[in-house]
Amino acid sequence: MNEHLKTLGEYKYLDAGNGPVVVMLHGLFGALSNWEPTVSALKDRFRVVVPVLPIYEMPLLSATIDGLRKYVEGFVKATDIREFHLMGNSLGGHIALVYTLANPGKVKTLILTGSSGLFENSMGGSFPKRGSFEYIKERVGYTFYDPNVASDELVQEVFDITKSVSKCMAIVAIAKSAQRHNLAGDLEKIKVPTLLIWGLNDTITPPHVAHEFNRLIKNSTLYFIDHCCHAPMMEQPERFNQLLHDFLVKN
């Protein structure tokens, strides 16, 4: 996907394809690579834009859900993206929700998968254990139904992040902000068509969380994917991409 990488001022992002715009937001330990199968599946019919969220570089005072929402607002303005489909995984879903609530006229549809915003079990919220590759491997594997999906490359990427004290402090600050920023009282304000795609075996935002999102967001549709945990677009990409494609085409 390197041929689609772009830089515009402070913003780094992937921009592939042509057509209606789909903006994708990754999670706390996420990266552009999380969306690679989805980008490949959509780029022949849609313009897919994936910003790199500056989770580990943000000043601590800005390392909040609202700080990341403002970053996305700045990115959308800088790239002159108008109406678009907005999708987020895990923390990215939380940011997508807050962005939609603050900018309802810009978001055409909302897609959430394993989103925080109501309840989540996570590695964040306490200082990530540093210096233990095996511990990080176990925690990364915990996000997948099949721990083998957590490649050594992915584990190494997260391990390298946790070796930095400043990055760990940012992770904890954002995770705590997410836990404080409960959206239960605001979700009824979301009116756009919303697709919820959840891993039936999600241990971080369990199925009951998906049902609660479905209940609170009135114009929402929920699908579960079996043998799948917290990142369906990585673990079950074919089923995920089919559900996503069908929803986007209809809306």
Q: Is 25 exposed, middle or buried (0-12, 13-18, 19+ CB in 10 A)?
A: buried
| Residue pLDDT, tens place only, 190-210 | 999 999 999 999 999 999 999
Banded model confidence at residue 1, pLDDT cuts 50, 70, 90: low
Candidate ranges 32-36, 171-175, 242-246; pick with highest mean pLDDT:
242-246
Mean pLDDT computed over 216-233: 96
Q: What is the CATH number of the domain that holds 63?
A: 3.40.50.1820
Mean pLDDT computed over 107-119: 95
Decide if 160 is inside a domain.
no
* pTM as predicted: 0.91
Gap between the terminal Cα atoms of the chain: 27
88: tokens are: 């987020």
Banded model confidence at residue 129, pLDDT cuts 50, 70, 90: low
Decide if 6 is inside a domain.
yes
Mean pLDDT computed over 109-124: 83
What is the C-alpha to C-alpha distance for residues 221 and 247, in angstroms, rounded to an integer?
Answer: 10
Decide if 166 is inside a domain.
no
71: tokens are: 């970053």
Decide if 240 is inside a domain.
yes
pLDDT at residue number 123: 44
Range of lowest pLDDT (52-66, 163-177, 192-206): 163-177
Banded model confidence at residue 137, pLDDT cuts 50, 70, 90: confident
pLDDT at residue number 122: 56
Decide if 92 is inside a domain.
yes
Question: Which structural domain, as residue segments, surrounds residue 238?
Answer: 2-122+182-250
CA distances from 24 to 35, 51, 121, 211 (A): 8, 7, 22, 22
Q: How many domains does the chain have?
A: 1
Decide if 134 is inside a domain.
no
| Residue pLDDT, tens place only, 9-40 | 999 999 999 999 999 999 887 778 889 999 99
DSSP notation for 162-188 = HT-HHHHHHHHHHHHHHHH---TTTGG
